[in-house]
Structure 1
Amino acid sequence: MDNTNWTSVSHFVLLGISTHQEEQVPLFLLFLFMYTVNVSGNFAIIILIISIPRLQTPMYIFLGNLALADICFTSTTVPKMLQNIFSPTKTISYMGCLAQTYFFICFAAMENFLLAVMAYDRYIAICHPFRYPMILTRMLCSQMVATCHILSHLHALLHTLLMGRLIFCADNRIPHFFCDLYPLMKISCSSTQLNTLMIHTEGVMVISGALAFIIASYACISWAALQSPSAKGKWRAFSTCSSHLTVVAIFYGTLSWVYFRPLASYSVATGRNLTVMYTVVTPMLNPFIYSLRNGDVKGAFRKLMRRIWTSLFR
C-alpha cells in the first residue's frame, strides 16, 4: 500500500470506556469527581508552593512542576471524554486526535522525567545533606526542569509524526476514551512496524532509563540509610521517600503493562482500564500521597488557611 502522508478519514469516533447506556451517568459523575479532585488538589499544591517561602526549595519546585504536569496530563483526555459521554456522535477531528496524542505523550513523558529528577533530589538530600544547597542551586533546578520540558516535547513530536504517516481507511472507530497510540495503530490499514519499533526502542529507553535512574538513586539512599546508627535516622530516610516510591510504583507499573508488549497481544479492554489508572487515578492521588505524608506541606496548608481566615474576618 502506498505510504504517502494522507488519510481518508476526516474524524474518528471515540467509543469511550463503556457503550452501555445505563453506565453513562455513573461514569460521567465518577470521572467528573476524579477530575475535579485532581485539578483542585494539584492546584492547591502549586498555590502552597508559590505562597509559602519555606516551600520554595528544589524538592517543592519539582513537586510543583509535577502537579502542573498532572493537571495538564488529565486535562488532555478527561474533558473530551466527559463531553463524548452524552454526545450522539462522539467524534474528534483527525487533527484534534493527533493533537491529543501529542499532548498526552508529552505530559506522560514529563511526569516520567520529573519523577527521575525528584529521585535525584532525594538522593542528594539524604546521601549528601551538607552539600545539598551547593549542588542543587536554583540555576541547576531551572535547567533540570527546562530539560524535562524539552525532552518531553521532542519525545511527543517523534511519536506524533510517526502516527501522522499512518493511513486510516474505512474503520474510524477507536474503542477507547482518547486517541492513544495502540488503539490508533490497531485500526490503521497501513504498516505500523516503524511505530511499534520506535515504541519498543526509543520509548523503552525513555521510560526504562528514567526508571533505572530512580532505582539507582534509591539503592544509594537505602545503602546510606542502613549505614545510619540510629533507628530514627533510618525511619526518617525511608519515610521521606515512601510517598515518591508509591507514585513511581503505580505510574511505571501500569505504563509498562500497557505499552511495552507486542501490538498483537495488546488487549483494548485491558489497556483501556489500565490507562485510566495512570491518566486519571494516579494524578488524582498524587496531592494526597505527597501532602498526607509530608509535615511541611500540611503545616504550610494550615498556615495558608489561617492567613485566608484572618483576611476574611479581619
Structure 2
Amino acid sequence: GFLLRNDTQISEFLLLGFSEEQGLQPLVFGFFLSMYLIAVLGNLLIILAYSSDSHLHTPMYFFLANLSFVDICFTSTTVPKMLWNIWTQSKVITYAGCITQLFFFIFWAGLDVFLLTVMAYDRFVAICHPLYYMVIMNPRLCGLLVLGSWVLSTLNSLLQSLIVLPLSFCTEVEIPHFFCELNQMIQLACSDTYLNNMVVYVAGVLLGGGPFIGILYSYCKIVSSIRGISSAQGKYKAFSTCVSHISVVSLFYCTVLGVYFSSTVTHSSRSTSVMYTVVTPMLNPFIYSLRNKDIKEALRRLFGMTFDHWLL
C-alpha cells in the first residue's frame, strides 16, 4: 500500500482553498457559484444552438460545440467540490478523490488545448484554402481530429496520474490550493519525485508547446493570407471569423502560462488558476456568441420556437 515512514496510511488531503477568513466564505461561495452557473448555462446554450440548427452544422461550429462540452466538464472537475467544501466548512478530500480529480483535471485541460489547436487549423484552411475548405475539412477528418484529441489527452492524463500513485506522503497533507493540483501534490510528497518532475516538464513542453506553435503557425499563415486580400471588406470579413478564437486562445494560454511560470506558487497561482479553470470557460460562450451572427440567429430561432410552443 501507500505506506508512510511510521506505517500509517494517508487516506485524505486538506484543500486550503482561498480564504481562511470565516466572514469571507459566503462571499467566495456566492462568487464561484454564480460564475460556475454562468459557465455551464452559457456553454449549454452553444451546444443547444449547434444541435438544434442545421445552419450551424459546419466544422467550425462542430469544434465549438465540442469545446463547450469540454469547458463544462473542465470547470465541473474543480468548482463543485470547492463549493461543497465551503458549504460544509470542511477542507477534506479523500486520497482517491484527489487522484480522480487530478486525472480529470489534466484530461479536460489537455483536451481544451488540443481543441483550440484544431480550431486554429480549421480557420487556417478556411482562410488560406477557401476553395478546398469543404473537401479538406470533411466530416471524417473533423471526427478524426476530435478523436485524436481525446486519445492524446487520455494517454497524457493516465501517465501523469499513474506516476503520482507510487508517491508516499508524510504528515504534510495540506494542499495550498482549491483543487488537487499536480505540481502541489508532487511538492508535498516525501519520496523521490525526480521522475514526476521530468514527466511534467516533458509533457508541458510537448503537449503545451507543440499545440501553441501549431496555433502560432496557423495564424502567421492566416495573417499573410489576409494581407493578400485586395478589398477592405474582404479583409475585415476574413479577420472577423478569427477574432473570437484568438481571444479565447490568448485568454487560456496567458493564464495557464501565468500559473506554471509564476515562481511564487502560493497565492498568485491560486488566483491565476481561477482564470483558466473558471473564468475562461465562463467567458468563451460570450466571446463566441457576441461576435457571431449565426449563433445569435440560431438562439433566436431556438427560443422563438420554444416560446411559441409554450404560448400555444
TM normalised by structure 2 equals 0.96
Distance 2:225 2:92 in 1: 54
How far 1:184 moved relative to its partner? 1.1
Distance in 2 between residues matched to 1:190 and 1:270, nearest whole Å: 27
Q: CA deviation at 1:266?
A: 4.3
Query: Match for residue 110 of structure 1?
Result: 111
Q: Specify every segment of 5 or more residues in structure 2 that has no aligned partner in the other structure, as ranges.
A: none
Contact 1:183 1:268 in 2 (8 A): no
CA distance in 2, matches of 1:100, 1:266: 23
Query: Is contact 1:258–1:266 with CA below 8 Å preserved after alignment?
Result: no
Question: Within 5 Å, which residues of 2 pair with 1:223-262?
Answer: 223-260=224-261
Q: Among the aligned pairs, what percent are the same residue?
A: 47
SS state of the match for residue 164, structure 1? coil
Contact 2:113/2:211 (8 A) holds in 1 = yes
Cα deviation code 1:6-33 (max 9, x no counterpart): 5631001111111111110010000000
Structure 2 equivalent of residue 65 of structure 1: 66
SS at match of 1:92: strand
In the alignment, the residues of structure 1 paired with residue 266 and residue 3 of structure 2 have an alpha-carbon distance, to the nearest angstrom, of: 26
Tell me, in whole angstroms, the C-alpha distance in 2 between the residues paired with 1:268 and 1:167: 22
Partner of 1:147: 148
Could you say what secondary structure the match of 2:168 adopts? coil
Q: Deviations over 1:83-132 (max 9, x none)?
A: 00132432111011000000000000000000000001001111111111
| 2:63–2:115 Cα contact (<8 Å) kept | yes
Report the AA paired with residue 80 of structure 1: K
Q: Give the 3-state SS of the residue equivalent to 2:164 in structure 1.
A: helix
Q: Bigger CA drift: 57-66 or 82-91?
A: 82-91
Secondary structure of the residue aligned to 1:13 is strand
Q: Which residue of 1 aligns with 2:125?
A: 124
With 130-139 and 101-110 compared, the bigger mean Cα shift is at 130-139
1:290 to partner: Cα distance: 0.4
Q: Is residue 2:304 matched to residue 1:303?
A: no
**Cα distance between partner residues in 1 of 2:64 and 2:12:** 37
Partner of 2:282: 284
CA positional deviation for 1:259? 2.2
Counterpart contact for 2:3–2:10, Cα < 8 Å: no
Q: Deviations over 1:259-278 (max 9, x none)?
A: 256xxx34121111100000
Q: Distance in 2 between the 1:199 and 1:245 partners?
A: 27
Q: Return the offset for 1:5.
A: 5.5
Return structure 1 stretches of 4+ with deviation > 2 angstroms. Answer: 4-8, 86-89
The answer to whether the Cα contact below 8 Å between 1:70 and 1:283 also exists between their aligned partners in 2 is yes
Say whether the 8 Å CA contact 2:2–2:10 is kept in structure 1: no
Aligned-partner Cα distance in 2 for 1:195–1:216: 31
CA contact (8 A) 1:15 1:174 kept: yes
Once the two structures are TM-superposed, the CA of residue 298 in structure 1 deviates from its matched residue by 0.8
C-alpha separation between the residues in 1 aligned to 2:172 and 2:219? 47
Aligned AA (2:273): T
TM-score (norm 1): 0.95
Work out whether residues 251 and 282 of structure 1, in 8 Å CA contact, stay in contact via their aligned partners in 2: yes
Q: Which residue number corresponds to residue 75 of structure 2?
A: 74
